[in-house]
Amino acid sequence: MRSAAQPNHVPPEASAPPDEVESVIIGAGIAGVATALYLARAGREVLLIDRGDPWGESSGANAGTVVLFIIPPAVLPLTFRTLALWPALGAEGGVHTLFHRKGGLSLAMTAKEDRALRNWFTVQERHGIEAELLEGAALRNYAPWLGPAVMSAVLCAEDGYVSPLEAGPALIGLALAAGVNMQAGTPVTGIAPAGAGWRVETPAGSVRCRDIAITAGAWSGQVSALCGVGLRIFVDVNMLAATEPFAPVLDRVVTHIGGSLSLKQFDNGTCLIGGGWQGKGSLRDGTRSVDGGNLLQNLGFAAKTVPALREARVTRAWAGYEGIAADSLPLFGALPNRPGIFISACARGGFLLGPALGYHLAELMVEGRCSVPIAAYDPARAIRPA
């Protein structure tokens, strides 16, 4: 299926790329658009290429949930950066509410989950996450719309969401305004050495460049293989469902400590229901569709958590690919033995982290160093043995 997003700024279909640019970015989802934006702002001449519509894959089809409490410590520096960048990008792009800071509740439904929630609360407190543990009457008073099955919750005021439908046009508009040359409908089919740099090949022609960023999401392994680097990338087929608008109930973003639920109600009254339940299909054959059985379980879990959802009609459900590294951390940095080729892909929470990953990849490409620690994200850890 097509993604949920249809940005206003999609440029016309591809013509031949320029003969030469400084930097080529392959893939125009959040990772590529953000990298291109910050590179162009640093003075680089940037060509951003996508084989389809910019923002047309995961970045246009995701839940946009920002839940600080569940972020692993290894990506907290990126997360703190991204929490500052989202509102700034919104203000610059004319969408002042781009980051909807609603606060979030991470829930436990069983005694085992309650123990896990409390343990994780202690870990995250040590890492500077400000949160509050709620249970019993305090929880019921705070969120009377939660069902009796909910045992305890952690409240984090920084949580919220970014709507991919708002973010796509805003960020693509900013990138174009910064001077990024964007080329849609142009698959990259080859990457070859050319003098001190590289030549990127497409069916519409080839372009020489000094450096390259691979930001092709779940397809990043296919693209890195074009320059002879095989990466181990796992691909989930995630599902989401949207309801008809109904009276405001949920004034917070809701997630589950076991990862089975992500829930939010937008200002227009519609509710978005997800939580990592898997659809059908595979990247290899390009198929993806909703799995009816898993969707029903997802909706049942949501209705048990927030009983008002029993009355809500689901109008649409969809599935999208999410590329993930084995340890769920970003594949981020320079590709080994390919000077001038960089990658930013496959982070769990890649949409939330997108602006920070783009900011720091541009920093790395321009200055040759990064102001946050990136050793844990080294793409070398995912290289397939030859």
In the complex, the residues that contact ligand FAD under the rule CB under 6 A are 26-32, 49-52, 56-59, 61-65, 187-188, 215-219, 223, 238, 240, 262, 274, 320, 322, 345, 349-352
The least CB distance from residue 60 to ligand FAD, in Å, is 7
- Using CA atoms, how far apart are residues 189 and 212, in angstroms rounded to an integer? 14
Q: What amino acid occupies position 353? A: L
Shorter beta-carbon distance to ligand FAD: residue 43 or 190: 190
Report in angstroms how near the CB of residue 138 gets to ligand FAD at its nearest. 27
How far is the C-alpha of 145 from the C-alpha of 167, rounded, in Å? 29
Q: How far is the CB of 61 from ligand FAD (least distance, A)?
A: 5
Contact (Cβ atoms closer than 8 angstroms) between residue 210 and residue 197: yes
Of residues 112 and 316, the one with the C-beta less far from ligand FAD = 316
Q: How far is the CB of 328 from ligand FAD (least distance, A)?
A: 11
Please tell me the distance from the alpha carbon of residue 382 to that of residue 220, in angstroms, as a whole number.
Answer: 12
| Residue placing its CB nearer to ligand FAD in the complex, 124 or 238 | 238
Q: String of b and e for 179-206 (b: at least 16 CB within 10 Å)?
A: ebbbbbbbbbeebeeeeebbbbbbebeb
Of 114 and 186, which has the nearer Cβ to ligand FAD? Answer: 186
> Residue 152 or residue 220: which is nearer to ligand FAD going by CB?
220
Of residues 93 and 160, the one with the C-beta less far from ligand FAD: 160
The owner of tokens 């890649």 is: 350
| 139/216 with CB nearer ligand FAD | 216
Sort strands 181-183 and 46-49 into parallel, antiparallel or unpaired.
Answer: parallel
When the beta carbons of 146 and 356 are compared against ligand FAD, the nearer one is 356
CA atoms within 13 A on the CB side of 132: 10
Angstrom distance (rounded) from CA 234 to CA 135:
37
**CA separation, residue 275 to residues 202, 207, 228 (Å):** 37, 41, 35
Q: How far is the CB of 216 from ligand FAD (least distance, A)?
A: 4
Strands (E), 187-233: 190-194, 197-202, 205-209, 211-214
Side chain identity at residue 359, one-letter code = Y
Residue type for 196, please? A
25: amino acid identity, one letter: I
Min dist CB 270 to ligand FAD, Å, is 16
CB 359 → ligand FAD: shortest distance, Å? 14
In contact, 82 and 354? CB cutoff 8 Å? yes
Q: Which is nearer to ligand FAD, 345 or 361 (CB)?
A: 345
The strand pair at 205-209 and 331-334 is best described as unpaired
Please state, in angstroms and as integers, the Cα–Cα distance from residue 210 to each residue in 20, 22, 143, 365, 380, following that order: 9, 5, 54, 10, 21
CA distance 170 to 238: 25
Closest CB to ligand FAD among residues 219, 359: 219
Sheet holding 205-209, edge to edge: 190-194, 197-202, 205-209
Q: How far is the CB of 79 from ligand FAD (least distance, A)?
A: 10
The radius of gyration of the chain from alpha carbons, rounded to an integer in Å, stands at 21
